[in-house]
């Protein structure tokens, strides 16, 4: 187990599907002395996920699974146990994990969602917030339970929606806040 600054870092896997900007940021955070986590594994369901590049760059092991195959989750669980992974951070991971999987990692899976939950669960959050003329949106880090985007909230950050914001402009603004919020939430749950 990685040991830095007098405490053992918690072995963590980050699950991604896309660009991986949150992953990149979590890797940067994990290298800080104050970080309670080390990132020991990157998992993707998408071989084309751009974020996979951060595995090689940072010499972190990566695994790609086809979650359409029913055997994949079991294989992944076995591998996570072998790697002694104790925490999973979902970061733009576009697959819904099975209840069985979530139960095995009960209370040890975190997710970041680009809305102020419980508002706008699911996809296209920015578009929906703008259509509904919301004044504010934001992001949420929460524990994962068996219901989509419904686990206990750890931290949220509000972002103002301007009149001229498009979904992609708003997504960029929220993403900048996500990069700050995820490390803060991890520090919070480990009382650091
Ligand atoms: C983020 O907005 C995250 O909240 C959402 O998907 C996006 C992923 O971005 N679930 P990235 O892959 O971390 O850049």
Ligand 1 atom closest to Cα of 112? 4
pLDDT at 154: 98
The confidence score (pLDDT) of residue 2 equals 53
143: pLDDT strictly greater than 90:
yes
| Region for residue 92 given its phi and psi (left: phi exceeds 0; alpha: psi -120 to 50; beta: otherwise) | left
Q: Which residues line ligand 1 (CB under 6 A)?
A: 16, 18-22, 51, 91-92, 112-114, 175, 178
Extract the runs of DSSP E, i.e. beta strands, from 109-191.
109-113, 136-143, 153-160
Burial group, residue 185, by CB count within 10 angstroms (0-12, 13-18, 19+): buried
The rounded Å distance from CA 68 to ligand 1 centre is: 21
113 is catalytic: yes
pLDDT at 192 (0 to 100):
75
- Give me the mean pLDDT over the 48-55 stretch: 98
Tell which residue, 109, 135, 102, 132, has the closest CA to residue 120.
132
Asked if the model's pLDDT at residue 58 lies above 80, the reply is: yes
What integer best gives the mean pLDDT of the chain? Answer: 96
- Model-level pTM? 0.95
Ligand 1, atom 14, lies closest to the CA of: 21
Q: What are phi and psi of 75, to 5 degrees?
A: -60, -45
């Amino acid at each position: 187990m990685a040991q830095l600054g007098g405490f053992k870092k918690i072995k963590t896997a980050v699950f991604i599907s896309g660009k991986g900007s949150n992953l990149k940021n979590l890797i940067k955070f994990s290298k800080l002395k104050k970080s309670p986590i080390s990132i020991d594994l990157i998992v993707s369901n998408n071989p084309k996920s751009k974020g996979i590049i951060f595995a090689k760059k940072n010499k972190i092991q990566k695994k790609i699974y086809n979650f359409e195959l029913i055997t994949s989750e079991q294989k992944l669980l076995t591998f996570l146990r072998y790697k002694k992974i104790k925490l999973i951070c979902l970061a733009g991971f576009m697959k819904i994990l099975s209840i069985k999987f979530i139960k095995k990692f009960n209370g040890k899976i975190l997710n970041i969602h680009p809305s102020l939950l419980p508002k706008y669960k699911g996809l296209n959050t920015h578009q929906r917030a703008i259509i509904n003329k919301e004044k504010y949106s934001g992001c949420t880090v929460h524990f994962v339970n068996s219901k989509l985007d419904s686990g206990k909230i750890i931290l949220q950050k509000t972002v103002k929606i301007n009149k001229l914001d498009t979904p992609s402009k708003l997504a960029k603004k929220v993403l900048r806040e996500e990069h700050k919020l995820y490390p803060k939430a991890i520090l919070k749950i480990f009382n650091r």
